[in-house]
Amino acid sequence: MDGKSLVARACLLGLAASFSSAAAADQAKPVKKESAARPSPESLVVDKWRGTWDIKATRRWPEPVTAVDYVETYEWVLDGQYLRSETSRKSDGGKSMSMVWFDINTKNYRFVIFDSNGIAVELPPPTWSESTQTMEWRGGLLSPVAYTGYATFTDPGTIRWKSLLKDWKGTVIVDIEGTSVRRK
């Protein structure tokens, strides 16, 4: 081995040792438990989705108009920072996952959907209306796609919702609405 290789290998070993020391020190620290502090009002809004839901929807586009039934479960992950959902196999053959959270940096709710067809989309930042118990999404003018949608909690165990996604020319990509009923 030449001198440069030895120096490079020593540097890499030093880096590896420092990373493993830091990792060992992190592991020695107590695991952060749920905070005793009250949850923020925003996290309580996100928490409304937590649980398992039976979903009956009507997909109007793409055609043909189709009834779509599935089950979706939302649970907190990553130390309660994100609400992750996953669906069962839907009656139309699809499957999806999502992540929902309140971003403390941007002061916005965030909602990202991943579909088994390889589509991933972050919805525009929604607004929450406490008086109507409705989360509403409206896409911006400069976005390559236009998204509008809402999710209204008619009671703690029922959500009525609609999603409409269009491309930049106004052509409908997805048009679906439905009702989610919380499993007991």
Under 8 Å between Cβ of 131 and 140: no
Establish if 132 belongs to a structural domain.
Answer: yes
Contacts of 143 (CB under 8 A, 6+ apart): 124, 168
pLDDT one-digit tens code per residue, 124-176: 999 999 999 999 999 877 778 889 999 999 999 999 999 999 988 899 999 99
Q: Report whether 50 contacts 83 (CB < 8 A).
A: yes
Residue 36 is assigned to a structural domain of this protein: no
Model confidence over 85-109: pLDDT tens digits? 999 999 999 999 999 999 999 999 9
User: How many domains is the chain partitioned into structurally?
Assistant: 2
Rounded Cα distance, 43 and 76, in Å: 11
Q: Is the pLDDT of residue 32 over 60?
A: no
The answer on 63 and 128 residing in a single domain is yes
Look up the domain containing 173 and give its range. Answer: 48-182
Position 37 scores a pLDDT of: 59
Do 64 and 5 fall within a single domain?
A: no
Same domain, 11 and 90: no
Check pLDDT > 90 for residue 24. no
pTM: 0.77
Question: Does one domain contain both 62 and 102?
Answer: yes
DSSP for 38-49, written as a single string: PPPHHHHHHHTT
- Verify that 8 and 74 share a domain, yes or no: no
Is 72 inside any structural domain? yes
Instruction: Tell me, yes or no, whether 101 and 158 share the same domain.
Output: yes
pLDDT (0 to 100) of residue 12: 31
pLDDT averaged over every residue in the chain? 83
Q: Are residues 94 and 19 in the same domain?
A: no
